[in-house]
Amino acid sequence: MKSLHLQILFWCFATLALSLLAFSGVSRFVEARAMGKSGPLARVDAMILRQATEAYEFGGAAQLAEYLERTNQALGDPRYLTDPQGRDLASGTDRSDLLNSVHTQWASPVPKDGHLIIALAAADNGYRLITVLNPPFAPWTLLPYYALIIAAVALVCWALAVSIVSPLRNLARSVERFGRGDLAVRLNSSRRDEIGDLARSFDRMAERISALLAVERRLLQDVSHELRSPLARMSFAAELARREDKREVAIARIKSEIDRLSDLIASLLEVTRAETDPAVKQHEFSIVGLLQEIAGDCWIEADAQRCRVVLHASGDSGLIGNRELLRRAFENIVRNAIRYTPADSCIEVRVESRAQMCRVSIRDYGIGVPVDFLEKLGQPFVRVDDSRNSSTGGVGLGLAIAKRAIGLHHGSLQLRNVHPGLEVTINLPMPPD
């Protein structure tokens, strides 16, 4: 049975059928116990037999008739006190036909003329109490009620099956549409059960995939843009190379564009490696020593910009991670700060350790970043200067590489304007003592 809807209905009806069978069996068992020799009905008849005998022996037929009339009115079933031959002691009517249809001792009721006949003998066998019971409900008389119950349960089961299967079918259709390329499809389920959790998980997955595909399209567009300009300039330089008087200029231009393409490809490889190869070797190293090394490597660029890199460290902090990956991350941030800081200023690098966390802040004294760009910085190819002029910076991958490398070390990177300048704060977890 492939349909979940039919499976739910089948098991609901199977449960109902078993419940009805169990109910019928329990009812018959209770009825048999009630009418058995030691059941409550036998005890009631034994008490009536004793009291009827006393009424007859002390008050005669009139008092017996009065007692049996009150009893029959109270209990609803006629009872007669007879002698061993079946003569009614209250009215003198011959009731031997009733007496002869059952045993003289209590036994299971015997059907007769649509009734159940029970006879109980006194201890000395001098009297007999004959009880004529109205028959209980026959099973077939309950069929309309069973049909009504089955119809109600069927309606509830159908509603249950629909409430379970319908959202699953909707989810299946949405997954199929999403697989065909409709990335805007969402379920927006308001259910608070497991099906609602599944629907919300699908929405989150679809949102994430849509965002990743959007980033991928942006990445392809930006890469094509970055490649188009140097390739066009290389093509122009190749044409110049055919002219004898422009050959040296053309060769220099071609070499410059090749270097630019090499830097672009290297940066792209760094971004990919930082995101897809987290299983890198890790060891403990000094963060202050690493930053001192970076400051020393960047002094030529800082000198060209007529600025300097100043390191402030309140103690040395040991980190566990990939030193080379973090070195590239911090170096990209420092070089960005050098690129945009004004002349005769400095880039401040501060290192602090607090609560098992190492905080590194890198601040320049430039013009800062528009507020709208703060959250976007760190995405591939995002730059404040959308012209991507090579004289003012790279292709917008430095912060992206840094952010992903720091993320692989379970750290965080925040940017904020400090007026003047931009401050980049990196928090990295420190190993426990």
Give the Cα separation of 258 and 427 in Å (integer): 37
Question: How much is the pLDDT for 106?
Answer: 46
User: What are the structural domain ranges in the chain?
Assistant: 36-136, 186-277, 279-429
Question: How much is the pLDDT for 84?
Answer: 85
Torsion sign, CA atoms 378, 384, 386, 389? negative
Nearest to 263 by CA among 392, 384, 394, 399: 394
Give the Cα separation of 428 and 408 in Å (integer): 10
Place of tokens 């002029």: 389
CATH number assigned to the domain with residue range 36-136, chosen from the 4 options 3.30.450.170, 3.30.2350.10, 3.40.50.11540, 3.90.1280.10:
3.30.450.170
Nearest to 386 by CA among 222, 151, 220, 264: 222
Distance of CA 368 to the CA centre of its chain: 43
Other beta carbons less than 10 A from residue 206's beta carbon: 19
Torsion sign, CA atoms 141, 147, 150, 155? negative
CATH number assigned to the domain with residue range 186-277, chosen from the 4 options 1.10.3470, 3.40.720, 1.10.1740, 1.10.287:
1.10.287
Amino acid at 279: A
Higher pLDDT, 36 or 204: 204
Which tens digits make up the pLDDT trace of 40-96? 777 788 888 888 888 888 888 889 889 988 988 888 888 898 888 888 888 888 888
Higher pLDDT, 204 or 193: 204
DSSP code string of 40-65: HHHHHHHHHHHHHHHHHHHHHHHHHH
Which tens digits make up the pLDDT trace of 281-297? 678 888 888 888 888 88
Into which CATH architecture does domain 279-429 fall? 2-Layer Sandwich (3.30)
Higher pLDDT, 161 or 108: 161
* Confidence at 107, pLDDT banded by 50, 70, 90: very low
Question: How much is the pLDDT for 419?
Answer: 82
Question: How much is the pLDDT for 156?
Answer: 82
Question: How much is the pLDDT for 34?
Answer: 60
The token pair at 82 is 């007879």
* Confidence at 362, pLDDT banded by 50, 70, 90: very high
- Cβ neighbours for 408, distance < 8 A, ≥ 6 positions apart: 274, 278, 280, 322, 325
* Average pLDDT value for the chain: 77
Torsion sign, CA atoms 10, 16, 19, 25? negative
Helices (H), 76-193: 96-100, 143-179
Give the Cα separation of 349 and 334 in Å (integer): 9
pTM of the model: 0.45
